Amino acid sequence: MSLTTKVKLGLLATGIAAGVALPYLTSPFIIGIVTLALVFGLFAMSIDVLAGFGGLVTVGQAGIFAVAAYGVGYTATHLDGGHVLQVAVGLAAGIAISVIFAIMAMRTSGVYFLMVTLAQGMIVWGLAYRLAPITGAENGLRGILRPPAVSAYWTYYYLVLAIVALAGGLLWIVTRSPVGLALRGLRDGEDRLRMLGYNTAFHKAYVFVLSGLFATIAGILYVYLNQFISPAASEFATSGHGLLMAILGGTGTLVGPLIGAFVIVFAENMLSTYVERWTTLLGAVFVITILFARGGLVGMLSQAWPRVLARFGHPAASGDAGAGSPPGAALDGTAHATSNPHGITTEDDQRSSR
């Protein structure tokens, strides 16, 4: 076991221990923020699966997130359904909308994919405002109570912690499975993958729905956390925040988006009392991260880490790139003016470069 692996396992163990111990150490207020950060962390991870690993940058994920939340909310407030039915409807709604969105988006890539997902998310937002009989329009849906077993803030926190940890583990396995490999193939050379006989559209749809499933879970956890849902959840800004969390933390790393979510959720709750133009600040963070730190926080750390190792007399930790590409790699992809590294230009390359 290399030192780096030991450090990673140590960090993971510390993280879990801290997560379990937290309710004994701090105030309900902080626990509330941590729970929200975990929910958004899962949401940002679901974006990372598509954006970071597959180079498919989605800005409509809040649409899926909100549809699942509305599914729960509608069942609770209009159908008087029990919690099992609420969650079942939420899951079904989220998965159904993911499948529809996936079929629409599966034949596009790059900026087209981004635009299509953006329009999808915005249509959910528009419907959330106007379909008052179901969504309650601007007033939203109130009084969506948690199941009695997790009605206390700290029991709900443990539930969220467990689900997010489980989901994170599942996603980690998925990204290292053949599906994950195909995803990276989509990112690095979709045309080549297609020439090798892969049905790239099918792969995209598959991963889209998978990512949508995790956004759905995040949406369900979100609505029970707030016990309330309004059109704001489906806003462009929600998708944008999720994407920013992923990029700020480091795309293609899974743990990065979680870190990004903690940074942004905590900053929002701590700073927005003092900083009047919070959204402007977020926009600036967005711009600065893209311009100067595309690997995000995890990228910066992993760049600094070999130097730390060297100081302790270890050879640089090579071969430990995890998923095999540096954080932020997805964002460098689909460059349309870069030359082909092999000097061979196929007709397909030329077309994809336009």
Q: Give contact residues for another protein (rule: CB under 8 A).
A: 55, 57, 59, 100, 103-105, 107-112, 114-116, 118-120, 122-123, 125-127, 130-133, 235-237, 240, 243, 247, 276-280, 282-287, 290-291, 294, 330-338, 351-352, 354
Tokens describing residue 258 = 């979680």
Q: How far is the CB of 175 from another protein (least distance, A)?
A: 19
Q: Residue 141 pairs with which residues in a beta bridge?
A: 229
Cβ closest to another protein, residue 35 vs residue 98: 98
Rounded to the nearest angstrom, the gap between the alpha carbon of residue 78 and the centroid of all alpha carbons in its chain is 30
Write down the residue that tokens 């899951």 correspond to: 91
| Beta carbons within 8 Å of 19's beta carbon, 6+ residues apart | 161, 165
Q: How far is the CB of 177 from another protein (least distance, A)?
A: 25
Q: How far is the CB of 105 from another protein (least distance, A)?
A: 7
Q: Are 229 and 73 in contact (CB under 8 A)?
A: yes
Q: Are 101 and 62 in contact (CB under 8 A)?
A: no
Number of C-beta neighbours around residue 110 at 10 A: 15
Cβ closest to another protein, residue 88 vs residue 201: 201
Q: How far is the CB of 82 from another protein (least distance, A)?
A: 29
Q: How far is the CB of 178 from another protein (least distance, A)?
A: 25
From 106, 126, 129, 128, select the one nearest 117 (Cα to Cα). Answer: 106
Q: How far is the CB of 325 from another protein (least distance, A)?
A: 15
Cβ closest to another protein, residue 342 vs residue 351: 351
From 351, 231, 250, select the one nearest 294 (Cα to Cα). Answer: 250
* Gap between the Cα atoms of 126 and 269, Å rounded: 27
Cβ closest to another protein, residue 84 vs residue 337: 337
Cβ closest to another protein, residue 51 vs residue 167: 51
Cβ closest to another protein, residue 29 vs residue 202: 202
